[in-house]
Structure 1
Amino acid sequence: MNAAIALCHFCEAHGPCAIFCTQTLRDTKLEDLNLDNQQIPNKMCLACNSLGKTNAIYSRDNESGATFLSTQIPILPEVANLIKQASVRSLSCEINFHKDGGFVFFGDSSRGHVLSHTFHVGDLQARGFYQLFSIIILMKDKYFLLNIKPFLAEHLQKISTEIQISAQKIKCEEAAKGSPRQRRLSSSQMMVQTPRSLVELTGEKNIYAILHSHFSWILLAGSRFLTEHVTFGNLPWLPPAPSVIRPSKQFITLPYKTDDDQPTEEDQEESMSLRYVKQLLRNEFPAACFCALTGIKIIVRGSPSKAFNFMSCLKKLLPEQMHNVIQIDAQQFLTNSECKIVSVKPDVAVPIASSATFRIDFLDNENDRVSVKWPGEMPNKWPDLLIKLVKAVDEERFTDLVLNKQTRVLVEEWKNKVICLNQAKSSSGLAKLKKVLGVQSQDQQLINYWSPHLQGN
């Protein structure tokens, strides 16, 4: 997960600051890093210090090849500045004063988006008998951070509770030795005390190694959440989801096929992408995607093998809930109005092209030559999803496998937006949701088509 996690502390002597940060290093080698470049202030107390200027903790995941590095201050200067700003806000103005520790989301595109969890740690020597800490997660991807907020909140809450329980034991042991108030009023009590470190507060000398393991796991699990969950599958550590009987609605149809002339769907996932559709349709590619995304009927006529390849790529444009692939004959095709993307054999008669019907005909079996007919017009402003899909297809650095993953991420993002909009209880609430989610007027046709099929999700 492309993010940084930091533990922040509000020092009574020096104010708010980040004292421990964990990052993922993928392309940077440890030997190329210089810990002496950390921008650590010269004036520091025990409460502001964790690993020191020249120390670090790192671990490596052999499966993904990612290295997780924990230092007192982020090793990359640009990240250090963002963490510094976020730590000040999380401990001053962006605070949820819930008794069990609250969560606040803040940030912007230039300074990064932050999920902050603020909590109290008991300390009989501090003002109010507690010290203020926060755990912040900073990343650039706003929607990904919001989508996995329940996952992050659950585990950040567990980490803070673990710290609070350890600190509570120390607090009870100190309280048993006498009243904290009496000791403060006693002349033998020093009027000014140095703020205590987290090691002293919890009594755990390996507290930062423990935090490193927690933060590293969250970064690793977050990356798996992105690559697995958004691809219509289950997380690898979760049991398979129970089978759900869906209504018998039909959105995409394929022609009759045999095992000899058509590859499996798994093979298509690895080798075929939307780039194949663009190679066939050329300048008509955006129009075909627009029709698929907004519910304009698409008819593909040609040999089963060619149509199967084409349809397997085209269905990637829609959420899994709209992937009810079936096989029909000519009579069913003529009477089935729910099918929005249809594939038929060359000998089946089809309607003429119109603004409501996008026709694609494979001209021969030897070469991938097609005839595209659609008298409709593209809108002046394209839906946001269409713009991002076309940009991803044009990205030369994307392999077909990477493009497939990116397509699924984009489709899943808009699926989640539509599901959120379905939850709106009033027109004013719907307008606010659209503003938060960045939904524009040009996206409404897509929303109208997807919304009924995503009800109840």
Structure 2
Amino acid sequence: MNAVIGLCHFCEAHGPRPLFCTFTTDDENHTKESSKQAVKCTGCTSLGPETILVSKDDDGTFFCSRESVLNADVTAFLRQAAIRSITCEVSWSKEGGVVYFSDTQGHVLSLNFQIKDTRARGLKRWFSVVVLMKDKMLLHNITPVLSEHMQKIAKELQELAEIVFDNEQKVCTQRALRLRTGRNDFGQSRSLKQLTGDEDVFIRLHSHFSWMLKAGGLTYSETLHTSHDMLKKLNPETTKNSIFSANACNVPSDDECIPLRFLENMLSKSVFQILLYCTLTRINIIVRSDCDQADNIVKAINRLTPMNLNSPNVTVCSDNEQLTPTDNICIVEGAENNYSCIWTGVLPSKCPTLMTRIENAINNSKFNDTVLHQHVKSLLLEWLGIVKAVKSAIDASGPTSDAVVNLKKVFGVTPQDDVLVKSWVRAFCT
């Protein structure tokens, strides 16, 4: 489990501070470099700057315990967690840990507790165990497991400290002495080793924290499914003729078809806009064979479809064939950079979103031809996925249901996109 577990305390001279921390690493330098400890105080010292406790798991993971973390950002996060865990985040039930979240720094599970100390103000010292993690959901799910073990650690330390406290009270009752003299000047806070009477207390904590890090990773695990895996499991038919088809993202090289910008310049912007609209809305386009580069024009226009079909809507016909343009048939003819479209339809005042995005990409000078074609392909596949999702929602709840309306809002499908969605449903979702 990728986390940091720390022991914090309240020092009467320096306030809430981290005292000891354990984390996992695969970098052996973290097991060798000295800790950076700015405060020279007995109570704020645990292992010392030169001492590092290291355990190695079977898979090569190091469990490293030190006075401080080498990373400056994590150190700051740990200090903030020490302050909040001891002074702010208190569980009213006094059982279990408290979870609080921060999207900027990270998320924390903390448990604060008191340890008896004859030399402390109120004869008790505040300590806390904190678990720092970036994964909010993982921390939330393993909180019961970690919280239970954190309580066991607190109880173990309290029991050790109580034995030392009782022995010191037998020698001199501090409560009576303070009431009689009114003095409470005992210098620096004592270390955890002195409070518990256990020279190996930090070795114990290293063992506990290492177990928590390992148990946290083993108790809760996630399996990441790609969209393809999930769709294939739920409905295998939806992955056929889709963005998950083999070679769906392949883009023909410029050797196979002319670049889109060259096609726009050759046909003129107005003709290109009509052809782009007709291609995206599945209006049949017929290029007369007497046109210069008729085959190249067809190949270039066909690359504006999300997938290859057995019956493309862009074809070449002989110049002898009699054709009548209609709303569903657009005829391209001309030669030598003087091309025209014969089509009874008209471009709408607001074109489909996909068409606008493709035009913006063509006008973006930062895209070279290769990047432009790949970007256009990604836009086509994106909208193919949107159309298939809308089609599934329509099949499940009807075309005018709230579910379909809300889904279109999420995907950004506007009224001017309806003609594209309907044509693509007929062409690609059957």
Deviation at 1:155, TM superposition (A): 0.6
Aligned to 1:105: 99
C-alpha distance 280-52 of structure 1, shift in aligned 2 (>3 A): farther
2:298 aligns to what? none
Match of 2:29 in 1: 31
Within the candidate set 172, 175, 186, 2:169 is matched to 175
Alignment partner, residue 114 of structure 1: 108
Hey, what does 1:208 align to over in structure 2?
202
Cα distance, 1:280 vs. partner?
A: 3.8
Alignment pair present for 1:136 and 2:130: yes
| TM-score (structure 2 length as normaliser) | 0.53
Q: Secondary structure at the match of 1:91?
A: helix
Once the two structures are TM-superposed, the CA of residue 152 in structure 1 deviates from its matched residue by 1.1
Which residue in the other structure is 1:13 paired with? 13
- Say yes or no: does 1:66 pair with 2:66: no
Equivalent AA in structure 2 for residue 6 of structure 1: G
Separation (CA, whole Å) in 1 of partners of 2:124 and 2:72: 32
Do 1:106 and 1:113's aligned partners in 2 also have CA atoms closer than 8 Å?
yes
C-alpha change, 1:212 and 1:379, in structure 2 (3 Å) is same
Report what 1:156 is aligned to.
150
Q: Secondary structure at the match of 2:43?
A: helix
CA distance in structure 1 between the aligned counterparts of 2:102 and 2:116, rounded to whole angstroms = 33
* Structure 1 residue 184, shift from structure 2 partner: 3.5
CA pair 79-275 structure 1, distance change in 2 beyond 3 A: farther
Equivalent residue for 2:40, pick from 41, 44, 66: 44
Identity over the aligned pairs, expressed in percent? 35
String of CA shifts for 1:170-189, please: whole Å, max 9, x gaps.
11111122321233467798
1:443 alignment counterpart:
none
Which ranges in structure 1 are unaligned for 5 or more consecutive residues?
A: 232-268, 286-352, 359-375, 383-457
Kindly state the Cα deviation for residue 103 of structure 1 after the two structures are TM-superposed.
Answer: 2.6
Contact 2:22 2:206 in 1 (8 A): yes
Is residue 17 of structure 2 the alignment partner of residue 57 of structure 1? no
In the TM superposition, residue 153 of structure 1 has moved relative to its aligned partner by 1.0
Matched, 1:86 2:118: no
CA distance in 2, matches of 1:22, 1:226: 20
Per the TM alignment, residue 281 of structure 1 is displaced from its structure 2 partner at its CA by 4.3
- Bigger radius of gyration: 2
Secondary structure of 1:196's counterpart equals coil
Deviation by residue 1:304-356 (Cα, 9 ceiling, x = unmatched): xxxxxxxxxxxxxxxxxxxxxxxxxxxxxxxxxxxxxxxxxxxxxxxxx9933
Q: TM-score w.r.t. structure 1 length?
A: 0.50
CA contact 2:117–2:124 (8 Å) conserved in 1? yes
Cα distance in 2 between the residues matched to 1:284 and 1:356: 21
Q: CA RMSD in A?
A: 3.2
The 1:273–1:161 alpha-carbon spacing in structure 2 relative to 1, beyond 3 Å, is same
Partner of 1:24: helix, strand, or coil?
strand
| Count, aligned residues | 253
Partner amino acid, structure 1, of 2:242: R
Distance change in 2, residues 1:174/1:97 (3 Å) = farther
Query: Aligned match of 1:194 in 184, 188, 198?
Result: 188
Amino acid at match of 1:48: C
TM superposition shift of 1:191: 2.7
Q: CA deviation at 1:284?
A: 7.9
Would you say 1:217 and 2:211 are equivalent positions? Answer: yes
SS of the residue aligned with 1:356?
Answer: helix
- CA offset at residue 14 of structure 1? 1.1
Q: Alpha carbons of 1:354 and 1:102: their partners in 2 closer, same or farther (altered >3 Å)?
A: closer
Gaps of 5+ in 2: 246-391, 398-403, 412-430
